[in-house]
Amino acid sequence: MDKIKLKILGISYSQSQSGAYALILVENDGKRRLPIIIGSFEAQSIAIELENMKPTRPLTHDLFKIFADTFNVTVKEVIIYKFTDGIFFAKIVCFDGKNTLEIDSRTSDAVAIALRMKCTIYTYESILNAAGIIMDEDTSETASDESKVTTVKDKTVSNTEYSNMKLPELEELLKTAIEEEAFEKASVIRDEINKRKKSK
């Protein structure tokens, strides 16, 4: 069975489940998207890695990477291999130098680890047929543009809150938010900083 390469298109608030998020994966050479409902912790972990934020202490998925690197275990790939009753199943394929091993995982954890280990995420045609969504060309974002990633935003924080602040103030606020591990807030501040820099 041929594997289909996926990449992360973004994360948004789930419209169907309160307090949950939708992780959107898209096939590498196609239009189908795979929306996966994930928890807030996993969404935050994926978002901070996408935005290259560095927490003051390792998060759980960072710890997995440190552990794997310490013991020379390579994560070769992540495969979303089953979809049953609305639930996705994934496995992390590892290599210890001699043996290839498969570890069962929640899909959200597997994706967070794949990001940190810089490995590819795959699925199968049967999964995309069962759970994939095809977006119209006029409403879809350019899937090949990896810079267009929608990440988690804190509902309680408004971009307008920072619009009157000066750039040095925003940069200091960003630093504080990262130190306090308020990553959703930091994400909004970073967007405002990037917007300012692009307009110069």
Domains detected in the chain: 3-134 (3.10.690.10), 159-199 (no CATH)
Residue 96 has pLDDT above 90, yes or no: yes
As a whole number of Å, the end-to-end CA separation of the chain is: 50
Query: Angle at the Cα of 167 (from 161 to 171), degrees rounded to 5?
Result: 85
Residue 91 has pLDDT above 80, yes or no: yes
For the segment 136-155, the average pLDDT, to the nearest whole number, is 41
Q: Which of 115, 98, 96 is nearest to 47 (CA)?
A: 115
Residue 85 has pLDDT above 50, yes or no: yes
Band (pLDDT 50/70/90 cuts) for residue 152 is very low
pLDDT digits (tens, 9 = 90+) for 11-48: 887 766 677 888 999 999 888 999 899 998 999 999 99
Name the packing angle between helices 167-179 and 183-199 (round to 10°). 160
Instruction: Please tell me the number of Cα atoms within 13 Å of 174 on its side-chain side.
Output: 21
pLDDT at position 139, please? 42
pLDDT at position 112, please? 97
Least confident window among 85-89, 97-101, 128-132, 185-189: 185-189
Q: What whole-number percentage of the chain has pLDDT above 90?
A: 48
Pairing of strands 120-124, 100-106: unpaired
